[in-house]
Chains A and B, each alone.
Chain A
Amino acid sequence: MNPVIRREFFGILRSPKALAVLVALTAVFSAAVLMYWPADASVDLSGKTSIHVFRIFGYGLLAGVVFLVPAFPATSIVNERNSGTLALLLNSPLSAASIYFGKLSGVLLFSLLVLLCSLPASAACYAMGGIGLWDQLGMLYLVLFLLVVQYVTIGMLVSSYVQSSDAGVRITYAIVLGLLFATLLPAAFIRGTGGWGTALGSVASAIRCLSPLPAVMEIMRHSDVVSTGLKESSNTSGFLLASILSSVIFAGLTLSRLNYRIFDRSRSQGVMTDERGLLARIVRRLVYIVDPQRRKRGIPWYLNPVMVKEFRCRRFGRSQWLLRLVAVCAVVSLVLTFLAATSVTSWGVDRIGSLLVLLQVVLIVVLTPSLASGLISSELDSGGWDLLRLTPLSSVRIVFGKILSVFWTLALVLLATLPGYLMMIMIQPSMWLQVKLVLICLAWTAAYALAVSAAIGSLFRSAAVSTTIVYIVVIALFLAPLLIWLGRDAPFGHDTVQKALLITPVGAALNVIEAPGFENYTLLPAAWWIAGAVTALMALVLGIQVWRLTRPV
């Protein structure tokens, strides 16, 4: 047996976290089936109940794979490299391929265990009747298995490029969420007919195949997501092909890096624009607007130095990257509204508004854990926390500076989407009140996500662990109500869905903008009160944790 497989697999299995994951998943799946297992003697000949249970089970399993699987491969190679053991492995008689496939198999075996834990529950679903063994149950497991392979290969590829494990986790989750949701967007808008339009439409459909969501929805016999008109090809087979192809490409790319190249790291020679000639300085000013190689002036007295430090030590927190991010958000928001205004799609302003809200929520969910989860844990990890404690800065000022750095980034991103709303108001002035309420909901969403990420992230000493846990918690908090909303007709009643949508202010935002399927709930102002209470609670947790970490003991 490949020694790397043994070490990776047993290494993961030995960790208490892995045991907790397996036990928790088994308990959740069993509980879900038990809740809907027929308690009376009546027989559901239509198989409606079992289909509902199967849907919850299937989407839950998909969510489990999306949340849990990327965390393991994302740190797999970078941890080995940083601890020096990758050099030892590459120096051993083991080939790069056997090291790679050893690590891949170790993580895959654990992921398979996760899937196996759900088998008793899926067998119970099948026993309830109304579900096809191969075309539904078997296909679901095949899709999920290939999804696991795809995520593991992506995680390992990212892990071979990054310099720290938390960066690996952040980037992998961002890619995974991008593949899950962002790949659906081109197909939603490009419906060309003839010539270039057809070609673009085909490309958009191919990109859409990278997301497992249409395939799983097809297996669940749900209506298709972001598609209109007649269905041309099977989503499932498209995903199977796309996932196999993409996994092979990701594996090939990672394998090509498993040699001396993985240790290469370019080091800046410290050439600054200030020392270049006048012409070079002018050219760089025109190209960059904010030149990353220009010497920065000192931190002014009126700014919190910790906030400035946080911006400066984030690769994408530098001004030039923030400007680019804001520009992209503004353009996307304007394009969405422009499409609605020029009636390129059959969707009205309401639907475009929903998409804008979803775009902002996805941005918040992807960005906030990445920015806020490591506020404390990354300092503990790097030894910077003690250095900060030794400065005359109070702990309140330190934490406030850190939170401000996340706040301003989120605010910039959210503000960048305002032009889209302004255009919506120009098209339909009656929407002003709706837009105002939506913006308040989104502000609460951002505050909520920030507070949860910062508070939960502060409970861990390792940045990689805190990033993983925070991503799981935040995605679960934002996605779970939507999963329950999907079962709004059955098995969940109107009240249950309404209560679930109150968990985060996203439901309220979609409700206010009258997104299809969200119109019939009354979520305001209760959603704001709940968001406020959760934010306050999380702020309290963060405060207590910071107090614990700063007092001399």
Chain B
Amino acid sequence: MTDPEVVVQTHDLTKQYGEFTALDSLSMQVGRGQILGFIGPNGAGKTTTIRILVGLLKPTSGSASIAGADCLQDARKIRRLVGYMPDDFGSYNNMRVSEYLDFFGAAYGIGRRRRTERIDEVLEITHASHMKDLFVDALSRGMQQKVAIARTLMHDPQVLILDEPANGLDPQARIEMRGMLLRLSGLGKTLIVTSHILPELARVCDLVAMITKGKLRAFGTVDDIMRNVRQRRTFEILLLQHDQVDRVAALVRDWFQQHAAQETSGQTDVTGAEAEMMVRFSTSLNDQAISPLLGHLVSRGEPVAQFREVTADLEDAFLSVAGSDDTTPGSDSQAAADATEAAAAERRSSHPTGPTKETPSR
């Protein structure tokens, strides 16, 4: 399978505000019809990147281009190539949805007859035809998101940049949004989507870019990132009785001290949750090295109901990357691993059943 034609490209993109570096040498490429999930904590530089791509900000150095047009020099061309949906809806009072879309269509120079047809088309694509005669300022958040996407589609852009499109949506609306993104990708549109709801992105994205403190920490497919971002594996041991938890936790600690000299962390984080009859631990050992542990517990007279690995997902990868701010993309430093574990353990303690990763499917 050949690589898709590159549509969005940034090269060493840097943006500084005085001493503060908002974006630091960001380089990435997105192909035609691909969906890029752009992930990062608040203030990481996502919106800065997006605003440079759409021509609203000027980079301090580096370059960005969309379909061969430079984002700074060819700003007028970029406006026709890109449909941008910012986090703010940009509502106008006392305007009906059809009038709102009509205005943006007219602003893009679409002829009146074609505009009327296009309004129906984009409302159809976004499943928002029933909102045509409603006032935009009276729409709910989810309805506004649909109208905002319809607005970005009015001039039929090659690239759609959506800032937090799933923000504030209920689960049903999120499922619809996901379907819509896939439909748009199917139409050959290139999409850049930011979201804090990472499982949403994992399900629809071809590529993921993780950014923290202005630096690109990881870039690639979800699978690539899961492979490259080294993580400590987390295991759960489900027991049969509450009073086993402390004993089993002690046994696991002892076992690691005696049998796992190669454990790089020096300490294995073993926690017991009596209410759940669960012992959790994390390790960097492989399956072969860890396999004797179960036999050891059984041989010591501790019955085990389940011994399982908690599968890591995009959130774990993100936490790993977010915890390794000073490392380069894909590095496997100890600090990153520790940070991952701390964050993941904290997250799991609030979600005892553990997240279940779903294979990204298109």
Q: Are A552 and B93 in contact (CB under 8 A)?
A: no
- Complex CA gap A539/B40 in Å reads 42
Q: Are A386 and B56 in contact (CB under 8 A)?
A: yes
- Complex CA gap A248/B134 in Å reads 38
- Complex CA gap A267/B143 in Å reads 14
The residues of B that contact A297 with a CB separation of less than 8 Å are 112
Q: Which of B55, B57, B80, B137 gathers the greatest number of chain A CB atoms within 10 Å?
A: B137
The residues of B that contact A301 with a CB separation of less than 8 Å are 111-112
- Complex CA gap A299/B151 in Å reads 16
The residues of A that contact B111 with a CB separation of less than 8 Å are 301
Q: Does A392 contact B (CB under 8 A)?
A: yes
Q: Does B104 contact A (CB under 8 A)?
A: yes
Known: A265-B138, A382-B90. A390 touches B56 (CB 8 A): yes
Among A265, A299, A383, A388, contact of B102 (Cβ-Cβ < 8 Å): A299
- Complex CA gap A239/B70 in Å reads 67
B71 to chain A minimum Cβ distance, whole angstroms, is 9
- Complex CA gap A271/B133 in Å reads 7
- Complex CA gap A379/B336 in Å reads 43
- Complex CA gap A100/B86 in Å reads 37
Q: Are B90 and A298 in contact (CB under 8 A)?
A: no
Q: Are B92 and A268 in contact (CB under 8 A)?
A: no
Among A163, A299, A552, contact of B106 (Cβ-Cβ < 8 Å): A299
- Complex CA gap A388/B132 in Å reads 21
Q: Does A14 contact B (CB under 8 A)?
A: no
- Complex CA gap A196/B285 in Å reads 101
Name the segment of A104-112, A135-143, A303-311 touching the other chain.
Answer: A303-311
B227 to chain A minimum Cβ distance, whole angstroms, is 37
Among B91, B103, B109, contact of A392 (Cβ-Cβ < 8 Å): B109
- Complex CA gap A272/B156 in Å reads 28
Contact with A along B132-173 (1 / 0, CB 8 A): 111101100000000000010000000000000000000000
Count of chain A residues near B, Cβ 8 A: 38
Q: Does B333 contact A (CB under 8 A)?
A: no
- Complex CA gap A313/B92 in Å reads 6
The residues of A that contact B102 with a CB separation of less than 8 Å are 296, 298-299
- Complex CA gap A315/B137 in Å reads 12
A317 to chain B minimum Cβ distance, whole angstroms, is 8
Interface range, B side: 35 or more
- Complex CA gap A388/B75 in Å reads 13
Q: Are B112 and A299 in contact (CB under 8 A)?
A: yes
Question: In this complex, what residue of A is CB-closest to B85?
Answer: A387
Q: Does B58 contact A (CB under 8 A)?
A: yes
B10 to chain A minimum Cβ distance, whole angstroms, is 15
Q: Are B112 and A553 in contact (CB under 8 A)?
A: no
Q: Are A392 and B90 in contact (CB under 8 A)?
A: no
A276 to chain B minimum Cβ distance, whole angstroms, is 12
Q: Does B349 contact A (CB under 8 A)?
A: no
The residues of A that contact B132 with a CB separation of less than 8 Å are 270
Q: Does B79 contact A (CB under 8 A)?
A: yes
Question: In this complex, what residue of A is CB-closest to B112?
Answer: A298
Q: Are A383 and B80 in contact (CB under 8 A)?
A: no
Q: Does A384 contact B (CB under 8 A)?
A: yes
The residues of B that contact A164 with a CB separation of less than 8 Å are 93
B263 to chain A minimum Cβ distance, whole angstroms, is 50
Q: Does B95 contact A (CB under 8 A)?
A: yes
Among A270, A305, A393, A551, contact of B133 (Cβ-Cβ < 8 Å): A270
Q: Are B115 and A298 in contact (CB under 8 A)?
A: yes
Among B94, B106, B108, B134, contact of A313 (Cβ-Cβ < 8 Å): B94
Beta-carbon contacts under 8 Å, A502-553 to B: 551-553
The residues of B that contact A265 with a CB separation of less than 8 Å are 138
Q: Are B95 and A312 in contact (CB under 8 A)?
A: yes
Q: Does B107 contact A (CB under 8 A)?
A: yes
Q: Does B98 contact A (CB under 8 A)?
A: yes
Among B84, B95, B99, contact of A390 (Cβ-Cβ < 8 Å): B84
- Complex CA gap A76/B115 in Å reads 42
Beta-carbon contacts under 8 Å, A341-399 to B: 382-384, 386-393
Beta-carbon contacts under 8 Å, A277-308 to B: 295-301, 305-306, 308
The residues of B that contact A268 with a CB separation of less than 8 Å are 133-135, 138
Q: Are A314 and B75 in contact (CB under 8 A)?
A: no
Q: Are A267 and B134 in contact (CB under 8 A)?
A: yes
Q: Does B116 contact A (CB under 8 A)?
A: yes
The residues of A that contact B72 with a CB separation of less than 8 Å are 552
The residues of B that contact A392 with a CB separation of less than 8 Å are 76, 79-80, 107-109
Beta-carbon contacts under 8 Å, A117-167 to B: 163-164
Q: Are B94 and A318 in contact (CB under 8 A)?
A: yes
Known: A298-B112, A383-B88. A270 touches B105 (CB 8 A): no
Q: Are A387 and B106 in contact (CB under 8 A)?
A: no
Beta-carbon contacts under 8 Å, A246-271 to B: 265, 267-268, 270-271
B140 to chain A minimum Cβ distance, whole angstroms, is 10
The residues of B that contact A551 with a CB separation of less than 8 Å are 58
- Complex CA gap A315/B75 in Å reads 34
B24 to chain A minimum Cβ distance, whole angstroms, is 18
- Complex CA gap A276/B89 in Å reads 32
The residues of A that contact B94 with a CB separation of less than 8 Å are 312-315, 318
The residues of A that contact B75 with a CB separation of less than 8 Å are 552
Q: Are A295 and B86 in contact (CB under 8 A)?
A: no
Q: Does B54 contact A (CB under 8 A)?
A: yes
A472 to chain B minimum Cβ distance, whole angstroms, is 24
Q: Are B106 and A382 in contact (CB under 8 A)?
A: no
- Complex CA gap A305/B88 in Å reads 22
Task: Given contact pairs A268-B135, A313-B93, A383-B89, enumerate 19 new A-B contacts (beta carbons under 8 Å).
Answer: A267-B134, A267-B135, A270-B133, A270-B134, A271-B133, A297-B112, A298-B115, A301-B112, A308-B103, A309-B103, A313-B94, A318-B94, A384-B90, A387-B151, A390-B55, A390-B56, A390-B82, A392-B107, A552-B56
5 nearest A-B pairs in the assembled complex, by CB-CB distance? A383-B88, A270-B133, A305-B106, A391-B107, A298-B112
11 CB-based A-B contacts, threshold 8 Å = A267-B135, A268-B138, A270-B134, A296-B98, A308-B106, A314-B94, A315-B93, A386-B90, A389-B56, A390-B82, A392-B80
